[in-house]
C-alpha cells in the first residue's frame, strides 16, 4: 500500500511539494523505498521536493483526539529542510507540539520501539500470570501491589495481543541474535489463546465435564473493548483451539451484530443452548444474560 501510494504521488509530484509518510514502516523504508519511487517523477529529493516520516501515534476509537494533541508529534525528514517544513505543519495541527529527530529512519524506529515496548511488557505480564497460576496466586493482586513501587509498571496479562500494531511491528525488525527477547515475547503472547483453552478445560474438569462436547460461550470478540476492530483479535485463536478440542463454541460482543459474529468468526449467540462455561476475554463488565443455563461456570482467567 505504501509503495502504491508513492507511485501514485510520483505521477503528480511538483516542484516545492512535501511528501509525508505516516504509516508505520520498517526502518529505512522512507529513505530506501519511498524516496526512489518519488524520484521517478524526474524531480530530485532535497532539491525539488521534501520527504519526511511523521509516524501516526493513534489508537482505534480516538484517532482525532490523538492527532490533535494527545501526544507530541514525531518528525524526521530526509534532510534538514524537510524536517523543518514538516515541523511547521504539525506545530499548527498538534497542540502538544513536535519532537524533531535526526532522520526519517530514526522516526521510523521510534514508532516501532513504542510497539515493541508494549509487546515485550505484555509478554512479561503474561509470564507473571502463568507463574502466579502455578502457585495458586491471584495475579491481579500481584500486579496492583507491585505497581505501587514507582519503578514498576507491569502491564495487564491477557489472552493475547490484538490489533493492527503491537503484534505486527516486531516482525519489521525481527532477525536472529539481535532480537531474541522480541521473538520470545511474540511467542509468549501468541501462545496465550492456547493457555486460555487449557484453563477452560481445567475448569470444566473440576465440575465433572469434558471440553469435548461442552457448550462454551466466548465473550469479548473484538480485540479492544467497545471498538469494532477484529485485526488479530485473540478471540480468533481461542475459538479455533476450543473447536479443535471438540467444544461447541458460541459468542457474544455488544459491538457486533449476529451476522457479523457469523461472518467474522463463525460463531453465533447461544440461542437457547445451555452454556457449560463462559470465557470472558476482556477486562470489562459485560452484561451477559441469555437465560440459557441455571448455572454458568465462570472462568477467572489466571486463577
Q: Which residues are catalytic?
A: 111, 165
Closest CA to 111 of 82, 159, 71: 71
Beta carbons of 107 and 51 less than 8 angstroms apart: no
Q: Residue 269: enclosing H or E segment and its boundaries?
A: none
Beta carbons of 58 and 90 less than 8 angstroms apart: no
Instruction: Tell me the backbone φ, ψ of residue 195, rounded to 5 degrees.
Output: -65, -40
Helix (H, G, I), strand (E, B) or coil at 45: strand
DSSP code string of 194-252 = HHHHHHHHHHHHHTT--STT-EEEEE--SSBTTB---TT-HHHHHHHHHHHTT-EEEEE
Instruction: Tell me the backbone φ, ψ of residue 198, rounded to 5 degrees.
Output: -60, -40
Contacts of 237 by beta carbon, 8 Å cutoff, 6+ apart: 160, 190, 193, 194
Instruction: Tell me the backbone φ, ψ of residue 128, rounded to 5 degrees.
Output: -60, -35
Contacts of 27 by beta carbon, 8 Å cutoff, 6+ apart: 105, 108, 109, 112, 172, 173
**What do you get for the CA distance between the two ends of the chain, in Å?**
43
Q: Measured between alpha carbons, how far is 269 from 33 in angstroms, rounded to an integer? A: 47
Sign of CA dihedral 23, 26, 32, 37: negative
Amino acid at each position: 500500500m505504501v509503495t502504491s501510494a508513492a507511485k501514485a504521488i510520483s505521477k503528480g509530484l511538483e516542484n516545492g511539494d512535501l511528501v509525508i509518510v505516516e504509516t508505520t514502516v520498517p526502518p529505512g523504508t522512507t529513505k530506501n523505498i519511498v524516496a526512489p519511487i518519488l524520484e521517478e517523477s524526474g524531480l530530485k529529493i532535497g532539491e525539488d521536493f521534501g520527504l519526511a516520516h511523521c509516524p501516526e501515534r493513534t489508537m482505534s476509537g480516538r484517532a482525532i483526539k490523538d492527532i490533535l494533541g494527545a501526544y507530541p508529534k514525531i518528525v524526521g525528514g530526509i534532510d534538514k529542510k524537510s524536517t523543518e517544513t514538516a515541523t511547521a505543519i504539525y506545530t499548527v495541527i498538534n497542540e502538544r507540539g513536535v519532537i524533531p529527530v535526526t532522520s526519517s529512519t530514526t522516526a521510523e524506529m521510534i514508532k516501532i520501539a513504542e510497539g515493541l515496548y508494549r509487546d515485550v511488557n505484555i509478554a512479561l505480564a503474561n509470564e507473571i500470570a502463568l507463574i502466579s497460576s502455578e502457585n495458586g496466586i491471584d495475579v491481579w493482586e500481584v500486579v496492583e501491589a507491585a505497581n505501587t513501587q514507582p519503578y514498576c509498571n507491569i502491564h495487564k496479562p491477557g489472552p493475547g495481543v490484538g490489533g493492527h500494531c503491537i503484534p505486527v511491528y516486531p516482525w519489521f525488525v525481527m532477525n536472529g541474535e539481535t532480537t531474541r527477547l522480541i521473538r520470545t515475547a511474540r511467542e509468549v503472547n501468541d501462545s496465550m489463546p492456547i493457555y486460555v483453552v487449557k484453563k477452560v478445560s481445567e475448569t470444566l474438569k473440576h465440575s465433572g465435564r469434558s471440553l469435548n462436547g461442552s457448550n462454551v460461550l466466548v465473550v469479548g470478540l473484538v480485540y479492544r473493548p467497545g471498538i469494532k476492530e477484529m485485526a488479530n483479535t485473540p478471540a480468533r485463536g481461542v475459538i479455533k483451539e476450543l473447536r479443535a478440542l471438540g467444544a461447541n463454541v458460541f459468542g457474544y460482543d455488544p459491538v457486533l451484530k449476529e451476522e457479523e459474529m457469523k461472518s467474522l468468526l463463525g460463531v453465533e449467540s447461544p440461542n437457547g443452548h445451555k452454556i457449560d462455561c463462559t470465557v470472558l476475554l476482556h477486562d470489562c463488565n459485560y452484561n451477559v444474560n441469555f437465560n440459557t443455563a441455571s448455572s454458568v461456570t465462570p472462568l477467572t482467567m489466571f486463577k
